[in-house]
A and B are shown apart, each in its own frame.
Chain A
Amino acid sequence: DGGITQSPKYLFRKEGQNVTLSCEQNLNHDAMYWYRQDPGQGLRLIYYSQIVNDFQKGDIAEGYSVSREKKESFPLTVTSAQKNPTAFYLCASSHGRQVTSREQYFGPGTRLTVT
């Protein structure tokens, strides 16, 4: 089955630790995205990537880092510099190299709790 997988589903970390969230897709999509979802707010874009070895900052990139070494994979690292990291993190992908592609397909999400 084609789709996007994110792991783990739940993640708990102590304050001051970096943590990496996994995102893998087998849809052969060029573009991939990371969003953060908080209660009462829309999805906010953290980073996006149009092609391998290239990525751009979104609206709330501070305290996060990404890599895109393979087309299928777009891991997100939440660093200790992120002031309020507890949230639900969603990875998405879309067709083609134009990030103007509107139809985004989402993974199941990772809920990160930092204490």
Chain B
Amino acid sequence: QKEVEQDPGPLSVPEGAIVSLNCTYSNSAFQYFMWYRQYSRKGPELLMYTYSSGNKEDGRFTAQVDKSSKYISLFIRDSQPSDSATYLCAMSATGGFKTIFGAGTRLFVKA
């Protein structure tokens, strides 16, 4: 079993839809949770960074962490065609050094 599981998609939605992207994990020591966006043939860029449980909002993006369920989510409101990309979740533990990445979910937002 992988430490981090992420549905690869693809996920296709119409412009303006609310998108929900999710990851599950098995290591209860994870405390730091990140979401990266990766456009085709480009390097990932950090979108959101959350410590421990709770929600964090930045513009159209909301990151949510539920440590009791070992489940994290990224919500995108009013999705745009420019949001079409692969979204990678990533997480790491306090005191540990490694960041574990999910395989990524491909998102297509249709105009």
Contact of A103 among B46, B95, B100 (CB under 8 A): B46
Q: Do the beta carbons of B43 and A90 come within 8 Å of each other?
A: yes
Residues of chain A whose beta carbon lies under 8 Å from any beta carbon of chain B: 4, 6, 35, 40-43, 45, 48, 58-59, 90, 92, 98-100, 102-109, 111
Contact of A108 among B43, B92, B99, B101 (CB under 8 A): B43
Q: CA separation between A90 and B45, bound complex, in Å?
A: 12
Contact of A109 among B8, B34, B42, B96 (CB under 8 A): B42
Cβ-closest chain B residue relative to A99: B97
Contact A45/B98 with A40-B8, A106-B44 known, Cβ cut-off 8 Å: yes
Cβ-closest chain A residue relative to B96: A100
Known A-B contacts: A59-B98, A103-B49, A109-B43. Give 15 more (CB < 8 A): A35-B101, A40-B103, A42-B100, A42-B104, A45-B98, A45-B99, A58-B98, A90-B43, A100-B95, A100-B96, A102-B49, A102-B92, A102-B99, A109-B42, A111-B41
Identify 27 residue pairs between A and B in the complex whose beta-carbon atoms are under 8 Å apart, listed by A's number.
A6-B43, A40-B8, A42-B4, A42-B6, A42-B102, A42-B103, A42-B104, A43-B101, A45-B99, A90-B43, A90-B44, A98-B97, A102-B32, A102-B34, A102-B49, A102-B92, A103-B34, A103-B46, A103-B49, A104-B46, A104-B99, A106-B44, A108-B42, A108-B43, A109-B42, A109-B43, A111-B41
Q: Restricting to B16-68, which residues have a CB under 8 Å from any CB of A? A: 32, 34, 36, 41-46, 49
Main secondary structure of the interface of B (DSSP, over half): loop
- Cβ of B107 under 8 Å from chain A: no
Q: CA separation between A4 and B95, bound complex, in Å?
A: 26
Contact partners of A41 in chain B: CB under 8 A = 103
Interface size on B, residues (CB 8 A): 27
State how many angstroms separate the Cβ of A42 from the closest Cβ of chain B.
4
Cβ-closest chain B residue relative to A59: B98
Q: Do the beta carbons of B88 and A42 come within 8 Å of each other?
A: yes
Q: Do the beta carbons of B98 and A43 come within 8 Å of each other?
A: no
Q: CA separation between A4 and B2, bound complex, in Å?
A: 30
Q: Do the beta carbons of A100 and B92 come within 8 Å of each other?
A: yes
